[in-house]
């Protein structure tokens, strides 16, 4: 929902009622992940997407119906063998979509949640997708130190707040199944409440070291992928905002010193791309980076450069396990030559590492195209992943 938060905030500020359809479950080769959202107003305006086009029309009609009835609805869309052109997903996947009407001023959880999302403040939105009659769509907005909204059972509310806060801290989006007493449940059923928790956290960071032409292309594709991109180089003549217009920030500093200053802002989603080609910069930087719990660390250079770099890092005391975390030479073998092609190669490796991709042509296999990062009940798998601001 983050990608349409600005429009929702505008509708909300103008006092207009609208409905939000959110993907709360995914199975098979569905095109969008949990958290994807479409919002619609009754007079024909819609923003966002839940399926990349497959079922948008049907979901918009559900939004109109929810606005008319004032009631939330949970709908499942999937492929139909009898009629591949019926409303459904011809890619073979299944989407479960929660459609919820929103009337500004009547829903403290959504009112607060959409404002926090638009402001870039970390928040988890927890919404009931299955439970006792009358609870469908009930929601809480949970931050690190408070929450807004209410659930009918106090013990359940306390448990949801605690679980949602833990998911927010980890940047996770996914399902949560609790008993009416707040205790975790393994299965959905009449004595349980199933919630969908969306965690909105700051965008993951990409740190690009080395102010060269390849860095400009990497910064451009990093921003396209949703990273907050910083370019750092110790040479002020090269590290300029004019040369890197797509970077969120350009820093003039020694790479290792800048990394040391950022330790409290790095996490398991952070990506480091070392493009400096200079051992004065590379070695002290990589010596630190490979000992941090970062998502990806890659370094540019030839195979000979990599061997020499690895030998120096071993001399500096890095273990075999720490060195194994280094992606070098950086990127996948795409035959890239230009800075732009090389940036695609690097981005492809980052995505494959994050998602567990096999780096083979999709036509070379016969398994599912989309990998599930986590599995729910056997009859309905869900993807669990960070949602970023």
In-domain check, residue 381: no
Same domain? For 149 and 214 the reply is no
CATH of the domain at 216: 3.40.50.720
What's the CA dihedral at 88, 93, 94, 95 to 10 degrees?
A: -90
Same domain? For 66 and 154 the reply is no
In-domain check, residue 362: no
pTM: 0.67
Of the residues 151, 169, 201, the one at which a domain ends: 201
In-domain check, residue 41: yes
In-domain check, residue 187: yes
What is the pLDDT, as a whole number, of residue 371?
Answer: 56
CA distance 281 to 257: 10
CA distance 143 to 139: 13
Helix (H) or strand (E) holding 327, with range, is strand 326-327
Same domain? For 6 and 131 the reply is no
Same domain? For 210 and 342 the reply is yes
In-domain check, residue 54: yes
Please count the structural domains in the chain: 3
The number of C-alpha atoms within 13 Å of 179 and in the hemisphere containing its C-beta is 5
Return mean pLDDT, the chain. Answer: 87
Q: How many CB atoms lie within 10 A of CB 66?
A: 24
Same domain? For 181 and 112 the reply is yes
Same domain? For 112 and 97 the reply is no
What is the pLDDT, as a whole number, of residue 196?
Answer: 95
In-domain check, residue 195: yes
pLDDT of 228-261, one tens digit each?
Answer: 999 999 999 999 999 999 999 999 999 999 999 9
What is the pLDDT, as a whole number, of residue 19?
Answer: 96
Same domain? For 115 and 254 the reply is no
Q: How many CB atoms lie within 10 A of CB 94?
A: 19
CA distance 280 to 303: 18
CA 206 to chain centre: 14
Same domain? For 65 and 129 the reply is no
In-domain check, residue 94: yes
Higher pLDDT, 33 or 40: 40
CA distance 311 to 84: 58
pLDDT of 210-232, one tens digit each?
Answer: 999 999 999 999 999 989 999 99
Average pLDDT over residues 163-169: 89
Look up the domain containing 179 and give its range. 107-201
Same domain? For 166 and 214 the reply is no
What is the pLDDT, as a whole number, of residue 81?
Answer: 44
What is the pLDDT, as a whole number, of residue 114?
Answer: 87
Same domain? For 144 and 196 the reply is yes
Q: Where would I find the H helices in the chain? A: 5-13, 56-69, 108-119, 154-170, 213-224, 255-261, 279-289, 303-315, 320-323, 339-355
Average pLDDT over residues 273-294: 94
What is the pLDDT, as a whole number, of residue 376?
Answer: 34
In 3D space, the residue among 175, 196, 173, 218 whose CA is nearest the CA of residue 388 turns out to be: 173
Q: How confident is the model at residue 30 (pLDDT cuts 50, 70, 90)?
A: low
* Percent of all residues in the chain with a pLDDT value above 70, rounded to a whole number: 89
The number of C-alpha atoms within 13 Å of 32 and in the hemisphere containing its C-beta is 26
Same domain? For 37 and 117 the reply is no
Determine the 3-state secondary structure of 3 from DSSP. helix
Same domain? For 189 and 209 the reply is no
pLDDT of 108-146, one tens digit each?
Answer: 898 899 888 888 889 999 999 998 888 899 999 999 889
What is the pLDDT, as a whole number, of residue 298?
Answer: 97
Residue 368 clears pLDDT 70, i.e. is over it: no
In-domain check, residue 387: no
């Amino acid at each position: 929902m983050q990608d349409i938060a600005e429009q929702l905030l505008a509708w909300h500020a103008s006092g207009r009622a609208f409905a939000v359809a959110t993907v709360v479950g995914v199975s098979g080769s569905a095109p969008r992940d949990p958290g994807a959202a479409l919002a619609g107003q009754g007079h024909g305006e819609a923003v966002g997407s839940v399926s990349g086009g497959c079922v948008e029309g049907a979901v918009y009609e559900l939004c109109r119906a929810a606005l008319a009835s004032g009631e939330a609805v949970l709908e499942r869309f999937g492929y139909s063998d009898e009629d591949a052109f019926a409303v459904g997903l011809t890619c073979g996947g299944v989407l479960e979509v929660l459609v919820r009407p929103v009337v500004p001023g009547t829903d403290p959880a959504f009112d607060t949640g959409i404002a926090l999302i638009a402001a870039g403040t970390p928040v988890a939105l927890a919404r009931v997708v299955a439970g006792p009659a009358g609870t469908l769509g009930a929601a809480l907005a949970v931050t690190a130190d408070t929450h807004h909204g209410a659930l009918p059972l106090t013990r359940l509310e306390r448990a949801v707040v605690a679980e949602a806060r833990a998911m927010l801290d980890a940047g996770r989006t996914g399902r949560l199944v609790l008993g009416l007493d707040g205790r975790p449940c393994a299965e959905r059923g009449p004595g349980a409440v199933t919630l969908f928790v969306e965690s909105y956290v700051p965008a993951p960071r990409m740190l690009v070291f080395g102010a060269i032409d390849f860095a400009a292309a990497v910064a451009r594709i990093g921003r396209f992928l949703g990273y907050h991109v910083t370019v750092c180089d110790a040479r002020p003549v090269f590290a300029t905002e004019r040369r890197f217009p797509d970077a969120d920030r350009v820093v003039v500093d020694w790479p290792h010193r800048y990394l040391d200053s950022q330790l409290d802002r790095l996490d398991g989603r952070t990506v480091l791309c070392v493009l400096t080609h200079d051992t004065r910069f590379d070695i002290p930087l990589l010596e630190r980076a490979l000992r941090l719990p970062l998502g990806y660390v890659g370094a540019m250079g030839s195979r000979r450069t990599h061997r020499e770099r690895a030998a120096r890092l071993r001399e500096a005391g890095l273990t075999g396990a720490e060195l194994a975390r280094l992606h070098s030479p950086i990127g996948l073998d795409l035959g890239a030559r230009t800075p732009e092609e090389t940036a695609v190669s690097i981005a492809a490796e980052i995505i494959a590492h994050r998602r567990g991709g096999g780096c083979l042509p999709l036509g070379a296999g016969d398994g599912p195209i989309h990998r599930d990062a986590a599995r729910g009940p056997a009859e309905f798998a869900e993807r669990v992943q960070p949602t970023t601001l």
